[in-house]
């Protein structure tokens, strides 16, 4: 089993940035890829910003920061991932887009034993694996947001993932990245989102039906249940488009009404109100 030294990260949004940061901080060489050079560079700027904040908090030194940044390169050309030992796909939560990406990754990543992992929140890994000629090397590796701060990673083997691949990414997550790993079966939502998303959708329904304001619902759960963040701020942090997409995938899998994205959530996404990343969701994140 070769060690993992070069990681490709596909998608330079909030998750791709966080995954890039933790891999670079672990001393790995990371190639971060997005659909345009501009998006990839914006991703790198986000990583640089986060590393600077970590240095100011004194969790890393200026040498650590410089070393981590020096290990990251950005591109809009997927073929630059050809030498990767592990690719972590963190592109938009859209099954067609991810399936197309896995087909391309299978073509460009040269080492047939290189692992192709997805950070998907809800799409069955088996469907991504079926787009490749190496289903034994395809696995789910689901990080949590913000990646540098959240200790958990879910490892999701599909029915075809080899034990060696599962063990390799588990060791990578725990020993190289220092995360806590849990293994979940290949069912939409895995462990955490199967439990979390119906709760977030219930909070959105409460706003939609006028039961309480977003502020009061969040205060209810922070002050009444000691949650560190209320459900609507958490939905804004995840991204309302991502929450809706996960709800759709869970509903498609289980056909339970509690997973169906409510109309208010759909209208907000259609209006570009995506939460923190767009500046407005249930709360405003624009500078006053
Ligand atoms: N947001 C969360 O809290 C969270 C947590 C865990 C997992 N996830 C999962 O991580 C993935 C990414 O989520 P995010 O919140 O970072 O989304 P995001 O919207 O912040 O970023 C998505 C990025 O993917 C890029 N992209 C789209 N198609 C691409 C392609 N073909 N090739 C390369 N890049 C492409 C977009 O340009 C964008 O930069 C999703 O699968 C999501 O379900 C999200």
Residue-level pLDDT at 83: 97
Pocket test for ligand 1, best of 31, 41, 80, 91 (most atoms within 8 A of CB): 91
Residue-level pLDDT at 268: 98
Residue-level pLDDT at 3: 87
Residue-level pLDDT at 258: 96
Residue-level pLDDT at 122: 85
Q: Known catalytic residue: 142?
A: yes
DSSP state of 257: G
Residue-level pLDDT at 287: 78
Residue-level pLDDT at 1: 55
H-run or E-run covering 224: helix 214-225
Residue-level pLDDT at 208: 97
Q: Domains of the chain (ranges plus CATH)?
A: 6-183 (3.40.50.720), 193-278 (1.10.1040.10)
Pocket test for ligand 1, best of 191, 242, 245, 275 (most atoms within 8 A of CB): 242
Question: For the whole prediction, is pTM greater than 0.85?
Answer: yes
Closest-CA residue to 153 (of 169, 168, 138): 169
SS3 66: helix
Taking the CA of residue 29 as centre, how many other CA atoms within 13 Å lie in the half-sphere pointing to its CB? 10
Low-confidence ranges of the chain (pLDDT < 70): 1-2, 288
Residues having CB within 6 Å of any atom of ligand 1: 10-16, 33-35, 39, 90-93, 97, 101, 119-121, 142-145, 238-239, 242, 277
User: Hey, what are 63's tokens?
Assistant: 């040498």
**Hey, how many other C-beta atoms are within 10 angstroms of the C-beta on 284?**
12
């Amino acid at each position: 089993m070769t060690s993992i030294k070069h990681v490709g990260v596909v998608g330079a949004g909030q998750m791709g940035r966080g995954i890039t940061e933790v891999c670079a901080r672990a001393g790995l060489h990371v190639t971060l890829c997005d659909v345009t050079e501009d998006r990839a560079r914006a991703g790198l700027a986000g990583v640089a910003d986060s590393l600077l904040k970590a240095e100011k908090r004194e969790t890393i030194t200026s040498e650590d920061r410089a070393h981590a940044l020096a290990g990251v390169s950005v591109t809009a050309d997927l073929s630059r991932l050809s030498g990767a030992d592990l690719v972590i796909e963190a592109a938009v939560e859209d099954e067609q887009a991810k399936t197309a990406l896995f087909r391309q990754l299978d073509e460009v990543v040269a080492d047939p034993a290189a692992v192709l992992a997805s950070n998907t929140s809800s799409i069955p890994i088996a469907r991504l694996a079926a787009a490749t000629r190496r289903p034994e090397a395809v696995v789910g590796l689901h990080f949590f947001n913000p990646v540098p701060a959240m200790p958990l990673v879910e490892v999701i083997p599909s029915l075809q993932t080899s034990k060696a691949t599962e063990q390799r990414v588990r060791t990578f997550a725990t020993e190289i990245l220092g995360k806590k790993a849990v293994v979940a079966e290949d069912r939409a939502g895995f462990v955490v989102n199967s439990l979390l998303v119906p709760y977030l959708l219930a909070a959105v329904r409460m706003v939609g039906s006028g039961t309480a304001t977003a502020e009061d619902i969040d205060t209810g759960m922070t002050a009444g249940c000691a949650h560190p963040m209320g459900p609507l701020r958490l939905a804004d942090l995840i991204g309302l488009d991502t929450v809706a997409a996960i709800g759709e995938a869970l509903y498609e899998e289980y056909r339970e009404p509690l997973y169906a994205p409510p109309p208010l959530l759909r209208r907000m996404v259609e209006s570009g109100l995506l939460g923190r990343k767009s500046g407005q969701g249930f709360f405003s994140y624009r500078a006053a």
